């Protein structure tokens, strides 16, 4: 028997605004608006997003800021300028977390990713429910961000399931329920069905996804061409074979820092590199990766850069191994180089992942 795929779409709730709440916890119950300010006048620009408190007052993404201000008049609303760099940092922490839970991860935007967890839950949708809940709980406790997850037998269903209940939602659509789940929805819920197509379908008597699913595929092909006709037929029947496409793993994880003072003294250097090793190790564990190579990097007082590496016999996840090798590498390096050092770096590379089937579900959450 061919195993069901189990695909999740994770979408972070009111993302930019939630990031602002994360670093300013006191604003959580107030309307929060994140805007792109054009700078022409104090209020010119548009709303990027807002929290759900602000949405209750009618604030929407894309709305002019002056209008959002008007809607929130008399409230203790807080407005922020977008801070992309900060949101990217939070996003990549969460994406890195996901990598520990999946066989394949496809990031689609700053706040959305598809997770293929078929192997982790052995194709079982009840297990998938617990697994998704654990992912949600863990991201909430470890990063502080709430997210919504839709689970389905393919990307199409996962996406629509995700939109079904927000924020902090979890919707599971089993393969046998997929068709009924889609049936009553208007056709424009399907990706690729925009305003024009909706109008054309309306003329053909197609309003719901169910109408589309029952429509003769040959006639769909005549109206929309072969590629779209077949796509509409399949999508409305809950069929989607698009794989979750994994992005390439970063080849290394590294961190560099400037020393408090230029020095040639091993103990001062090791103080700093131990901190860097902690950072690198944290990122490794978040992404559930092991490494086979450890390197050091040094920027000398004359600003020349030098590096040294060691390759291990076996991949490992051990923090002690990073520190021990960094110590040895610096010890040797200082012996052969008389110049003082200004900046130091630690890098692990030849990264890999344990085979997912060797893991128990719970071991993903044990760190």
Contact of residue 181 among ligand TTP, Ca ion, none (CB under 5-8 Å per partner type): none
Contact of residue 16 among ligand TTP, Ca ion, none (CB under 5-8 Å per partner type): ligand TTP
Least distance between Ca ion and beta carbon 68 (Å) = 18
Q: Is the CB of 46 or the CB of 183 nearer to ligand TTP?
A: 46
Is 199 part of the annotated catalytic residue set?
A: no
Rounded Cα–Cα distance for residues 222 and 286 (Å): 50
Contact of residue 49 among ligand TTP, Ca ion, none (CB under 5-8 Å per partner type): ligand TTP
Least distance between ligand TTP and beta carbon 365 (Å) = 25
Q: Is the CB of 61 or the CB of 271 nearer to ligand TTP?
A: 61
Helix (H) or strand (E) holding 71: helix 65-71
- If we measure between CA atoms, which residue out of 319, 283, 322 comes closest to residue 330? 322
C-alpha 170 chain-centroid distance: 16
CA distances (Å), 113 to each of 11, 131, 227, in order?
7, 16, 26
- Binding of Ca ion by 111 (CB under 5 A): yes
Q: Is the CB of 15 or the CB of 97 nearer to Ca ion?
A: 15
Q: Token digits for 314?
A: 């076996």
Q: Is the CB of 48 or the CB of 236 nearer to Ca ion?
A: 48
Part in contact with Ca ion (CB under 5 A); list of ranges 105-113, 136-144, 269-277, 298-306: 105-113
Contact status, residue 9 vs residue 123, Cβ threshold 8 Å: no
Part in contact with Ca ion (CB under 5 A); list of ranges 3-11, 61-69, 202-210, 213-221: 3-11
Least distance between ligand TTP and beta carbon 51 (Å) = 9
Axis crossing angle, helix 217-224 with helix 226-236, rounded to the nearest 10: 140
Part in contact with Ca ion (CB under 5 A); list of ranges 40-48, 104-112, 117-125, 212-220: 104-112
Q: How much is the CA Rg of the chain, to the nearest whole Å?
A: 26
DSSP string, 174-212: -GGGHHHHHTTSBGGGSTT--HHHHHHHHHTT--BHHHH
- Binding of Ca ion by 11 (CB under 5 A): yes
Q: Is the CB of 69 or the CB of 319 nearer to ligand TTP?
A: 69
C-alpha 331 chain-centroid distance: 39
Least distance between ligand TTP and beta carbon 17 (Å) = 6
Other CB atoms within 10 Å distance of the CB of residue 27: 18
Least distance between ligand TTP and beta carbon 322 (Å) = 35
Q: Which residues contact 65 (CB under 8 A, 6 or more apart)?
A: 33, 35, 37, 43, 44, 45, 46, 47, 79
Least distance between ligand TTP and beta carbon 15 (Å) = 3
Contact of residue 210 among ligand TTP, Ca ion, none (CB under 5-8 Å per partner type): none
Say which DSSP state 3 is in. P
Instruction: Give me the catalytic one of 112, 176, 251, 313.
Output: 112
Say which DSSP state 4 is in. P
Contact of residue 166 among Ca ion, ligand TTP, none (CB under 5-8 Å per partner type): ligand TTP
Other CB atoms within 10 Å distance of the CB of residue 143: 18
Q: Is the CB of 51 or the CB of 325 nearer to ligand TTP?
A: 51
Positions in the binding site for ligand TTP (CB under 6 A) = 11-16, 48-49, 61-62, 111, 166-167
**CB environment 348-363: b (16+ within 10 A), e (fewer):** bbebeeeebeeeeeee
- Contact positions vs Ca ion (CB under 5 A): 11-12, 15, 111
Active site residues: 112
């Amino acid at each position: 028997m061919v195993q069901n795929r189990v695909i999740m779409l994770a979408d972070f709730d009111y993302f930019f605004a939630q990031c602002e709440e994360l670093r300013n916890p006191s604003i959580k119950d107030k309307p929060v608006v994140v805007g792109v300010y054009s700078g022409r006048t104090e209020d010119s620009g548009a709303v990027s997003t807002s929290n759900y408190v602000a949405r209750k007052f009618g604030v929407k993404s894309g709305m002019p800021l002056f209008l959002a201000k008007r809607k929130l008049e008399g409230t203790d609303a807080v407005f922020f300028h977008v801070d992309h760099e900060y949101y990217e940092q939070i996003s990549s922490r969460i994406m890195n977390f996901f990598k520990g839970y999946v066989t394949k991860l496809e990031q689609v935007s700053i706040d959305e990713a598809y997770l293929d967890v078929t192997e982790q839950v052995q194709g079982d949708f009840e297990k998938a429910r617990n697994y998704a809940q654990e992912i949600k709980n863990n991201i909430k406790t470890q990063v502080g961000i709430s997210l919504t997850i839709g689970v389905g037998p393919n990307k199409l269903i996962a996406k629509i399931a995700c939109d079904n209940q927000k924020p902090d939602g979890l919707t599971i659509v089993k393969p046998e329920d997929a068709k009924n789940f889609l049936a009553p929805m208007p056709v424009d819920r399907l990706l690729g069905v925009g305003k024009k197509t909706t109008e054309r379908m309306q003329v053909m008597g197609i309003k719901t996804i169910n109408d589309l699913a029952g429509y003769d595929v040959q006639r769909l092909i005549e109206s929309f061409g072969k590629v779209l006709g077949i796509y509409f037929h399949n999508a409305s029947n809950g069929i989607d074979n698009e794989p979750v496409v994994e992005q390439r793993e970063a080849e290394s994880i590294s961190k560099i820092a400037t020393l408090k003072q230029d020095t040639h003294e091993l103990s001062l250097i090791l103080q700093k590199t131990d901190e860097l090793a902690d950072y690198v190790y944290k990122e490794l564990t978040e992404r559930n990766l092991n490494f086979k190579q450890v390197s050091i990097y040094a920027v000398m007082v004359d600003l020349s850069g030098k590096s040294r590496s060691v390759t291990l016999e076996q991949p490992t996840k051990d923090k002690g191994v990073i520190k021990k090798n960094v110590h040895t590498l610096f010890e040797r390096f200082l012996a052969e180089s008389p110049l003082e050092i200004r900046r130091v770096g630690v890098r692990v590379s030849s990264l890999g992942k344990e085979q997912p089937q060797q893991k128990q579900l719970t071991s993903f959450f044990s760190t």
